[in-house]
Structures are given as structure tokens and as C-alpha cells.
Amino acid sequence: MLDDLKYIHQRDAQDALGIAEKQWQQLEHKFDTSSWNLKAQDIDNIVYGAMGGSALAALVSQSWPGYDMPFEISRNYHIPRYVNERTLFIAASYSGNTEETLSALAEAEGHNAKIVVIAGGGKLAEVAKDKGYPLLDFPKVVQPRYAVLANLKAICAVLDAVAPGKDNTYSKSLENEGGFLKESVKDWIPTVPTNNNPAKKLANELAGKSVVVYAGPMLSSAAYKWKISCNENAKNVAWWNELPEFDHNELMGWSSHPIEKPYALVELRSKLEHPRVQKRFEVGERLLSGRRPTPNVIEVQGKTLLDQLVWALAFGDFVTMYLALLNNVNPGTSDIVEKFKKQLS
């Protein structure tokens, strides 16, 4: 099925696989911050208000590039009580109409926070334009979850504007990453047959099961992205967790009942993780052998943390899009989510 290009074209009506193949181009997207007047010495902390796919890049940013000041992601109608005039509040929504984010923005205004908006239009962009807030426009894609790298580029543009570097800015680092990602995805595209395509092979292993994804702290955001992509691309139930927290509770959850559990396990492993985290994967696999399905171990590729993050994010996109095709669903739609939003309003 996954080698039938006619079937893929018919089922993938929004060309989600084409978007995944070309997502390296998002790293080249330019955001203009030249007129901004934000300075690091005027900011004590950063709060990022977003939901769903628009919050994913903020999770990635906690691994890379990381922060030199307190940073919190607020996926809520409300903001943390400490927000004040020395808080940089970033409101992000691809649609621009996410009600939780609009509510959080209104509260941030009430706390006199410094405001930056990342949006693809909607009410959020209107507020930014009406009130003169710095605004970064998302490039257009089918779904917010497909704009994670563009969103990460926008976050880096904000950080570069607040504390500009002399040479190697975060935005420039992302632009330089495009070549690595463009080359990496060549092995996963639809024209590569299953026998030579690791993304198709793994999708076949996951088909018909609930997916559980594990990673260490450095790649935990990628594991969460895999979970979301399983949900939204493949319309498939999935969970995720990170080590070492896994070993303090969830480890026991696999220790009883038959091995024939209706789950498929994926482990995103990195040689860059703390040596004790790497050992935890090995010890856990040994202790749980025969008590759970054998994990599909993914040795994430790349020399740097940024390499590995973009590689893991992109590989998860391809795997879950192929899983969608095996589930006989369109990876590019989120019909139930849209119906829920309409009924909620």
C-alpha cells in the first residue's frame, strides 16, 4: 500500500507528505524585527502563550537554543501570576483565533507585559496591528503542526531581537540547518520503496496499535511531537514520556499482565543524552524484556543537538503520515478538532 503512489496521492489530498519533504524551506523564512525596541536588560522572564501545534516549537526551544532567563509555556486561558511589566509575553496562534491564547493575551495586557505576537492571521494578528505590537507572520501551511520549524524560527527571531549576537545568531544557525534536513528526508519520501524506506517500515510496525514514544530530556519535545502527529496525522491514540521520570513510575506499569499488550513502542535515543539516561534505556529494556512489546529503537541522527531535533521531528512526520495511509485516513485534516471548536463557540 505504501508503495502505491496513486493511492498515496488520492488519500493525501492536502499533500502533507510534500509539505514534510519541503519543510527545510521553513528554516530559510525571514522575519523582520529591525524596527523592534526590545532589550534583554528590560526583561526578567518570558512567558509563551499558545495551544496545540502552536506550542510545539516553544517546547523544542527549551532544548535548543534554551534560555538564559526563566521561560514558561502557558497552555491555558490564564497566565502565571508573576507576569508583570518586565515579562516578555509571546502570544502564538497559527489561526490567530485560539480562544485560550486570546484570553491569555488580554490578561498579559492587564499586567502591563511586553507583548510580541506570532500568528498567521485572525483576531490575534488584528490585535497586534491595532495596538502596534511586534508581529511575526506564519508562512502558510495546511495545519499548525506542519509549521513547527517556521515557528521555531520565529521564536529565534524574537530572541535575536532581544539580545542580538555579533555572528552566530540563533536564526542563522537554523538557516544553516536546512541543508542537513533537506538531505535527511530523501530516504523517507514516497518514491523510495518500503524495503529501503525506514519511515515506511516503522509505520508498518506501528499499524493497528496504540503508540507509546519515549525519549530523554534532550529529545522529549520530539517525543511529544510524535505523540501529537500520531493523534492528528494518523488519527491514532498515542502517549509519550521521558526518561529519567519514566523509571520512577511508568516502568512499573509495564511489569505485569501478558506481553501481548496492544501497544507499539518507539524509543528516540541520542548519544548526546546524559550517560546515565543512556544507561537507563539499556537497563529498562533488559528488565522489561518479556513484559512488554520489544521497543522500536531509533538512533537519532546528527552530530549536534539541533541536528538531532530537526531529524527526529521530520522523521516522526513521515512515519505518522504513512501510518495515516495505513489507517486509511487523510493525514492533512483535523475534522473532529474543527467541529469541536465550532460546537464550543
DSSP E strand boundaries for the chain = 45-49, 71-74, 87-93, 114-119, 135-137, 210-215, 238-242, 263-269, 296-299
Least confident of 37-46, 188-197, 310-319, 327-336: 327-336
pLDDT at 216: 98
Percent of the chain at pLDDT exceeding 70? 99
- Overall pTM > 0.75: yes
Query: In the chain, where are the structural domains located?
Result: 5-12+181-326, 16-178
Q: For 16-178, which CATH superfamily applies?
A: Glucose-6-phosphate isomerase like protein; domain 1 (3.40.50.10490)
Percent of the chain at pLDDT exceeding 90? 85
Per-residue model confidence as pLDDT tens digits over 248-302: 999 999 998 777 789 999 999 999 999 999 999 999 999 999 999 999 999 999 9
281 touches 241 (CB < 8 A) = no
Average pLDDT over residues 39-52: 95
Q: How far apart are CA 243 and CA 152, in angstroms?
A: 24
- Which of 3.30.70.20, 3.40.50.10490, 2.40.110.10, 1.10.1660.10 would CATH assign to domain 5-12+181-326? 3.40.50.10490
pLDDT at 239: 96
Residues 6+ apart with CB under 8 A from 208: none
* Residue 167 pLDDT exceeds 60: no
Least confident of 164-168, 199-203, 312-316, 331-335: 164-168
| Structure confidence at residue 139 as a pLDDT band (50, 70, 90) | confident
